[in-house]
Structures are given as structure tokens and as C-alpha cells.
């Protein structure tokens, strides 16, 4: 298979202005263009991205019902965005909490994750991946999901520990 990464995601939202504000002010996405060519649309870029856009938002209006994905319909569970450092994960945990959008924090062994919901209740994951040279056999073989103890992870790896070196990015 020739696919090597996700280039962008597009979401249907009730209110594009509210969604732009959330993804910009809470998660740090940049606003790249308005929906002048497509009314009710917005295109956002993740910090440090070289993509034209990483997230497209298309407004469908306040009458739209909540997503039934995973409960009453098939559909996407969540998108996962990787952060650069554990410090970034800590900062985002604070921002998500401040906006009432943090819904979970998990330790998957090799990854440390936050879970949030946007203004429409669409779930997303923010992940930090243990760099390859710091992985232990315990990290690799652990099963199950534990509650994330972010202060302990920062104590172990440091705030500036870069995510996924040798795994999701070139070492």
C-alpha cells in the first residue's frame, strides 16, 4: 500500500464559527482561509504543518442532530493528533480542562493520550509517543489501558521530550 499518512480530515459541524474558535483557541490550529468559495466552510492548519490544511469544517446548521457513531450508527470514532513534546500535552490538558472539553486521559504503554470533545461532541485524541530509544520491554508488552499520570510521565521523560522519535518521525 502506498498510503503513508493522513493529509487532512473534514468534519460536518453545526456552527462553523464556533468550531473555528474551538480548534483555533483551544488546540492552536491556524485559520488558513474562509469559505468564500464554499459558504459555511473553513480550513485550518495544525501548528508546524506544511499542509494546505489539516482540518476542513463544513457547517450544516443548528438543526443537525448529534452523531450516533458508535452508539446507533457506524462512523468515525475519533481522530488522533500527535504533539511534539510532553510539555505540549500538558499545556493542552490544561486548555482542554479550562474549556470543559477534556473527557479522558489514558496511558496505553507506548503512548500517552488525552481525549477531548469539540463543540459538536465529536471526539478527538491528542497523543505523545515514547521515543524509540526510551521504550522499555514493559512499555512494549503492556496490555490494557491505565489512567494517565501526566506529572509522573513528565518526571520520567521531561517536558521537552520529543514525541515518537524513531517511531512516527525520523530519528
Percent of the chain with pLDDT over 70: 96
Name every residue whose Cβ is closer than 8 Å to that of residue 22 and which is 6 or more positions away in sequence: 99, 101, 118, 119
Mean pLDDT across 68-95: 94
Name every residue whose Cβ is closer than 8 Å to that of residue 147 and which is 6 or more positions away in sequence: 105, 106, 107
Between CA 18 and CA 114, with CA 51 as vertex, the angle to 5 degrees is: 55
Reported as a single tens digit per residue, the pLDDT across 106-142 is: 999 999 999 999 999 999 999 999 999 999 888 888 8
Amino acid at each position: 500500500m502506498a498510503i503513508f499518512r493522513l493529509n487532512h480530515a473534514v468534519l460536518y459541524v453545526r456552527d462553523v464559527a464556533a468550531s473555528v474558535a474551538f480548534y483555533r483557541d483551544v488546540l492552536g490550529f491556524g485559520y488558513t482561509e474562509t469559505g468564500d468559495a464554499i459558504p459555511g466552510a473553513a480550513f485550518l492548519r495544525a501548528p508546524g504543518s506544511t499542509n494546505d490544511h489539516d482540518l476542513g469544517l463544513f457547517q450544516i446548521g443548528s438543526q443537525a442532530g448529534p452523531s450516533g457513531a458508535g452508539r446507533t450508527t457506524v462512523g468515525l470514532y475519533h481522530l488522533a493528533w500527535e504533539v511534539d513534546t510532553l510539555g505540549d500535552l500538558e499545556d493542552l490538558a490544561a486548555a482542554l480542562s479550562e474549556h470543559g472539553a477534556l473527557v479522558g486521559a489514558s496511558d496505553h504503554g507506548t503512548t500517552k493520550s488525552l481525549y477531548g470533545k469539540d463543540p459538536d461532541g465529536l471526539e478527538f485524541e491528542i497523543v505523545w509517543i515514547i521515543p524509540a530509544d526510551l521504550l522499555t520491554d514493559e512499555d512494549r508488552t503492556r496490555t490494557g489501558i491505565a489512567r494517565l499520570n501526566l506529572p509522573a510521565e513528565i518526571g520520567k521523560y521531561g517536558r521537552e521530550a520529543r514525541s515518537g522519535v524513531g517511531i512516527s518521525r525520523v530519528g
